[in-house]
C-alpha cells in the first residue's frame, strides 16, 4: 500500500492546438479533463499498474466534487477526500503536435491553519498499513512553506517512509526534515544546491550533496537525458526508451510511481521509473500509462555513468 498526498489538487484541462501563437485566437482540436496534481498523478499511475494506493485529496466546491468523481472507478485506488473551503483550482495545458506543452496553473484556494491540521491528521489515518507516503506538488496559499516538513516528521513518527516531489521554498524547507526520497528535476535540484547543473556528473554531485545532508535517496529526472538515482547502493544513470512525445504533463509523476513500484532501490527501480515516465510522455494530456504502454526493454542503464555527458534540457521527464 502506498499513500499519496496532494495538498493543492486541480482539474487538469488539456487543449490541443495546431500551433500556439502569442496574442492569437486559437481553436482547440481536442479537450480533455483529468483529476490533476502531482500526488494524484502518482496515485493514478500506481493504480493503473495494479498497485494498491490511497489518495488523500483536499476537495473544495463544485470543482472539488468533480475532481473526486473523476477518481472513482478504479478498484486499486481508494480516495480519501478532505472537504476544505474555497474552490479547487483548474490548470490549463496547451499541447502542440510536436509534444510541446504550455501550462497555466492557478494558485488554488487558501488553506486555513485548521484545514492544515486536519490534513496532517487525515494523512496519518490513511497511512495505516502503508509502506510509503508520497507528498507531491505545490502547496496552496496559507499554510506556509513547512507543511511538508510537518508531514514528514509526523509520518516518520509512525514509521512510514516518505517521498517528496516539490519545488521552490517548499523543497528547500523539507530537506531539513530528511525525507527518505526526493525527486527533483534538473532545475529544481540546481536551485536546491545553488548552482547550475550541466552534466550527468553535476547531477550525481548535487544528489550526493543532498544525501550528505541526510536524504537517503535522490531521483533526479533530466527529460530526454533520462534520470540519475543516487542512494546507499550507489549511483546509476539511465536513458529512457525512444518515444514520440505527445505531452510531458505528469511524466515525472509517472516516473516516481514507477520507481516506488519497482522497489524504490537500485537499478531495477530506476529502469522501471524510466519506462513509466517515457510511456506517460507518449500519451496525450495527463493520461497515466498502464502495463501495455511500458517499454522496459528500451531502457538503458549505466552503473558508472558518463559523468561528462552534457545535459540537453533542464526539464522534468
- Alpha helices per DSSP H over 103-233: 113-126, 147-157, 168-175, 186-193, 200-212
Residue of 29, 87, 81 whose CA lies nearest to 56: 81
The yes-or-no answer on residue 253 being catalytic is: yes
Q: Is the dihedral of CA 202, 307, 98, 281 positive or negative?
A: negative
For residue 278, what is its C-alpha cell? Answer: 517515457
The catalytic position among 253, 292, 295, 306 is 253
For residue 131, what is its C-alpha cell? Answer: 509502506
Count the Cβ atoms, other than its own, within 10 Å of residue 92: 15
**135 beta partners:** 5, 164
Residue of 101, 128, 126 whose CA lies nearest to 6: 126
What are the b/e assignments for 196-215, b being 16+ CB within 10 Å? ebebbbbbbbbbebbbeeeb
Burial class from Cβ neighbours inside 10 Å (0-12, 13-18, 19+) for residue 244 reads exposed
Active site members? 253
Amino acid at each position: 500500500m502506498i499513500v499519496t498526498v496532494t495538498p493543492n489538487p486541480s482539474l487538469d484541462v488539456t487543449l490541443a492546438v495546431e500551433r500556439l501563437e502569442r496574442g492569437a485566437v486559437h481553436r482547440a482540436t481536442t479537450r480533455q479533463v483529468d483529476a490533476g496534481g502531482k500526488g494524484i498523478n502518482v496515485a493514478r499511475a500506481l493504480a493503473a499498474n495494479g498497485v494498491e494506493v490511497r489518495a488523500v485529496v483536499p476537495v473544495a466546491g463544485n470543482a472539488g466534487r468533480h475532481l473526486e468523481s473523476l477518481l472513482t472507478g478504479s478498484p486499486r485506488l481508494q480516495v480519501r477526500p478532505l472537504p476544505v473551503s474555497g474552490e479547487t483550482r483548474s490548470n490549463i495545458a496547451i499541447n502542440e503536435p510536436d509534444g510541446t506543452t504550455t501550462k497555466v496553473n492557478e494558485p488554488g484556494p487558501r488553506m486555513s491553519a485548521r484545514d492544515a491540521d486536519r490534513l496532517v491528521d487525515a494523512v496519518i489515518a490513511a497511512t495505516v498499513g502503508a509502506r510509503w507516503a508520497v507528498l507531491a506538488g505545490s502547496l496552496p496559499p496559507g499554510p506556509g512553506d513547512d507543511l511538508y516538513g510537518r508531514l514528514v516528521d509526523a509520518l516518520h513518527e509512525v514509521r512510514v517512509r516518505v517521498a517528496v516531489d516539490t519545488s521552490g521554498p517548499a523543497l528547500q524547507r523539507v530537506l531539513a526534515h530528511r525525507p527518505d526520497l526526493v525527486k527533483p528535476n534538473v532545475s529544481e535540484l540546481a536551485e536546491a544546491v545553488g548552482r547550475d547543473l550541466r552534466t550527468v556528473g553535476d547531477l550525481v554531485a548535487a544528489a550526493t550533496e543532498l544525501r550528505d545532508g541526510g536524504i537517503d535517496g535522490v531521483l533526479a529526472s533530466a527529460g530526454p537525458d533520462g534520470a540519475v538515482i543516487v542512494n546507499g547502493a550507489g549511483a546509476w544513470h539511465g536513458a529512457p526508451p525512444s518515444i514520440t512525445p505527445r505531452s510531458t504533463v505528469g511524466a515525472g509523476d509517472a516516473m516516481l510511481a514507477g520507481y516506488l513500484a519497482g522497489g524504490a532501490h537500485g537499478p531495477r527501480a530506476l529502469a522501471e521509473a524510466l519506462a513509466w515516465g517515457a510511456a506517460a510522455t507518449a500519451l496525450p494530456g495527463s493520461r497515466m500509462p498502464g502495463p501495455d504502454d511500458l517499454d522496459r526493454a528500451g531502457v538503458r542503464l549505466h552503473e558508472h555513468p558518463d559523468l561528462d555527458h552534457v545535459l540537453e534540457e533542464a526539464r522534468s521527464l
